[in-house]
């Protein structure tokens, strides 16, 4: 597969998660690509709108679900605004994606999933991968939070997960972000994690969200007994070209796009101090 060649995708479904966050379900225009395109949980793609450029997003759907991929994004720049203007199955409105990048997907049986805001997108990929292969995993705990109730994404799936007996779901919003009918926690994510996660024994954790959330959640996981080698997080917000050519994502000798974007807390601890 040519890593420089974009593959034409047809938008088959659009879901507005929040006022500024949208999910696109994409199918390959070429049937053979639907068979050949393989990826693992934790990988990312380069998505483009013609004439506007490319943006890097994780693949938000599970590798167990074939024939399509999904991506979620906030409308914050030129490319994301152009992607937002595209419609469903219109004659000329196509997006494009380059192959999945990184080789750090599917590392270890994950048991605790922690996400903040739009950071649920890459974690969602891993969650559905686990749930589709549920008999291969033990206990599953999901801790997800946002600033306000309105900022929670994938609300339909959160409702579905809340009804499942084979996982534990803890939802939280920041103090002041709750509504009168809110039944979840009113707490920031580090506090919600400390309350919801009861053991680190034989358990891996995957963590994604705003950098400040990650910074204050890592010590909580360490306090709960998680070894640094069993905590996975992502630095994908630092990437641009996806090929290690532009140098934007390097941290010392590490290129996030080539060596990540998923890293253990132990690996992050060995990165230069300025990170």
Smallest CA-to-CA distance from 96 within 31, 8, 29, 10 is with: 8
pLDDT given for residue 275 in this prediction: 47
Three-state DSSP class for 235?
A: coil
Question: How confident is the model over 3-30, as a mean pLDDT?
Answer: 89
Q: What are the tens digits of pLDDT across the range 128-164?
A: 999 999 988 888 999 999 999 999 999 999 999 999 9
Q: Where are the domains of the chain?
A: 7-97, 110-229
Domain 7-97 shares a fold with domain 110-229: no
**Which residues does residue 56 pair with via DSSP β-bridges, in sequence order?**
46
Q: Are 145 and 171 in contact (CB under 8 A)?
A: yes
pLDDT given for residue 91 in this prediction: 44
pLDDT band with cut points at 50, 70 and 90 for residue 96: low
Q: What are the tens digits of pLDDT across the range 104-115?
A: 554 455 689 999
Residues 6+ apart with CB under 8 A from 28: 7, 8, 9, 10, 34, 37, 67, 68
Q: Are 3 and 46 in contact (CB under 8 A)?
A: no
Domain spanning 110-229: which CATH class is it, in words?
Answer: alpha beta
Give the predicted TM-score (pTM) of the model: 0.88
The fold of 7-97 is Elongation Factor Tu (Ef-tu); domain 3 (2.40.30)
Q: What are the tens digits of pLDDT across the range 234-244?
A: 887 677 787 78
């Amino acid at each position: 597969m040519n890593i420089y060649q974009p593959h034409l995708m047809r938008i088959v479904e659009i879901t507005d998660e929040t006022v500024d966050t949208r999910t696109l379900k994409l199918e390959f225009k070429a049937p053979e690509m639907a068979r050949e395109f393989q990826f693992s949980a934790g990988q990312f793609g380069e998505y483009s709108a013609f004439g506007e450029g490319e943006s890097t997003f994780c693949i938000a759907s599970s590798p167990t679900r074939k024939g399509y991929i999904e991506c979620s994004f906030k409308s914050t720049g030129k490319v994301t605004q152009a992607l937002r203007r595209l419609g469903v199955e219109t004659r000329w409105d196509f997006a494009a994606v380059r192959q999945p990048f990184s080789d750090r997907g599917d590392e270890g049986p994950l048991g605790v999933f922690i996400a903040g805001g739009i950071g649920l997108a890459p974690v969602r990929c891993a969650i559905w991968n686990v749930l589709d292969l549920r008999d291969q995993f033990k206990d599953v705990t999901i801790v997800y939070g946002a600033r306000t109730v309105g900022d929670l994404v994938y609300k339909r799936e959160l409702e579905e997960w809340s009804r499942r007996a084979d996982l534990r779901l803890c939802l939280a919003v920041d103090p002041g972000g709750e509504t009168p009918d809110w039944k979840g926690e009113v707490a920031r994510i580090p506090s919600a994690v400390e309350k919801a996660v009861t053991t680190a024994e034989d358990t891996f954790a995957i963590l994604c969200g705003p950098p400040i959330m990650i910074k204050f959640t890592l010590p909580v996981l360490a306090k709960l007994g998680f070894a640094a080698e069993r905590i996975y997080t992502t630095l994908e917000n630092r990437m641009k070209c996806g090929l290690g050519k532009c140098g934007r994502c390097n941290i010392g000798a590490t290129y996030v796009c080539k060596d990540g974007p998923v890293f253990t807390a132990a690996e992050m601890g060995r990165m230069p101090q300025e990170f």
